[in-house]
Amino acid sequence: MSKNLWPDFDIEQAPRSPKAVIEEAGSGLEKKTNGVVRFFTMSTSIKDNEVHLVFSLYTQSLGYHFPFLRVKFAVEPVYPVTIAADKMTDVIVANDENELTASLAKIFNAPSTVETIQRLMSLVQQ
């Protein structure tokens, strides 16, 4: 058989999973902290058709993970995504990728988050 019956695939067209969105958004932390603090996927689990993720702020030199975000979304459809973040009073709900990115920006820039990361950086310097 000479003709390939399969169509062409464009991976760029596939919707990104919330996990990939969050990991990409968090990955810039290492650069911003000169490699001292990393945004780390601490655990992934699936329960009752829901994906549960925990992300930490990880300082390798201390060997310390600070559990920072709890994220939950359905296997299909993946939105809405709910986020419980350290020191944020409400659970945040994001209904699409744009909202998820905006929510992460809000969490990352919260004064309490900045304070936590600065605290971890200063601990490493001690």
Partner 1 sequence: MPTFGFWNVDSLRNLHTDERELPRFVADLALERSIDVFFLIECGIPCESLMAAFKGGPEYYPISCGERFKVLARFDPKLMQRLPLPVPSDRFDIWQLALPLQEDMLLSVVHGLDKRNNSPAKQELFLQQVVAALSYFENKVGHDRSIVFGDFNANPFESPVASALGMNAVISRAIAQSDPRRMLNQSYPYFYNPMWNLYGDEPRSSAPATYYYRGSDPHELYWHMLDQVLIRPSLLNGFDFSALDIVTTVRSTELTGASGTPDRTRFSDHLPVVFGVDLSVKNDKGGKHV
Long-range contacts of 40-43 (CB under 8 A, 24+ apart): 40/65, 42/67
Question: Please, which residue, 25 or 62, has the CB nearer to partner 1?
Answer: 62
End-to-end Cα, the chain, rounded Å: 68
Of 17, 79, 116, 121, the one binding partner 1 (CB under 8 A) is 116
Site map for partner 1, 29-48, x if CB under 8 A? -------------xxxx---
Of 20, 74, 75, 91, the one binding partner 1 (CB under 8 A) is 91
* By the rule CB under 8 A, 89 interacts with partner 1: yes
Site size toward partner 1 (CB under 8 A) is 25
CB of 87 to partner 1, least distance (A): 9
CB of 1 to partner 1, least distance (A): 41
User: Which are the contacts of 79, defined by CB distance < 8 A and separation ≥ 6?
Assistant: 18, 73, 94, 95, 96, 97, 100
Q: Tell me the CA distances in angstroms from 123 to 26, 31, 44, 116, 118, one per residue in order.
A: 21, 18, 28, 11, 9
Q: Alpha-carbon distance 78 to 15, whole Å? A: 10
CB of 64 to partner 1, least distance (A): 5
* By the rule CB under 8 A, 118 interacts with partner 1: no
Applying CB under 8 A, the span of 5-13, 25-33, 80-88, 100-108 interacting with partner 1 comes to 80-88
**H helix or E strand, kind and range, residue 105:** helix 97-108
